[in-house]
């Protein structure tokens, strides 16, 4: 079943790069007590994700935070090393937290996984964005396959 507005974010473990190397992040702890702008891409370094999706959130980070968001995070079904390298190459510089869902467990738990094996990419996450307020989905924007509109930073700004 696909997650919807009003649902709690499912319990899962994501990974981020820390000064000491890869570190686990519990979704229960990460989303508790704050407002998070979360967006997901099918894959790091892929064309739309690298040219539009991630850069849009980096460029609009101040505006999004200015509307009460305490954290902006990007999640993808890639390993933590790829997510860290992608964040560095995109110049996120602390504006966006890069989260790895290496085995697609988080995407599956939300019902937002997809099979991209036809493109040689295996199991991935659908492209989406959401506003999570204290662990509860307040806004949810799921893209149709191949589209990039409702999950953009610019669209999210209109929802805040």
Chain centre distance of CA 99 = 7
Q: How far is CA 78 from CA 56, 67, 74, 128, in A?
A: 20, 30, 11, 16
Distance, in Å, from the CA atom of 76 to the CA atom of 51, rounded to the nearest integer, reads 16
Catalytic residues, by residue number, are 49
Q: Which conformational region is residue 93 in: left (phi greater than 0), alpha (psi within -120 to 50 degrees), or beta?
A: left
């Amino acid at each position: 079943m696909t997650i919807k507005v009003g649902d709690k974010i499912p319990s899962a473990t994501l990974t981020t790069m820390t000064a000491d190397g890869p570190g686990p992040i519990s979704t229960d702890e990460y989303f508790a007590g704050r407002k998070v702008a979360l967006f997901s891409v099918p894959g790091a370094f892929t064309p739309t994700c690298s040219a539009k999706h991630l850069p849009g959130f980096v460029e609009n980070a101040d505006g999004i935070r200015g509307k009460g968001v305490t954290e902006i995070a990007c999640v993808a079904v890639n390993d933590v090393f790829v997510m860290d390298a992608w964040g560095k190459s995109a110049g996120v510089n602390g504006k966006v937290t890069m989260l790895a869902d290496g085995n697609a467990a988080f995407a599956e738990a939300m019902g937002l996984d997809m099979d991209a094996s036809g493109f040689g990419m295996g199991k991935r996450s659908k492209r989406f964005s959401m506003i999570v307020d204290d662990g509860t989905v307040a806004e949810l924007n799921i893209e149709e396959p191949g589209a990039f509109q409702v999950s953009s930073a610019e669209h999210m700004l209109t929802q805040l």
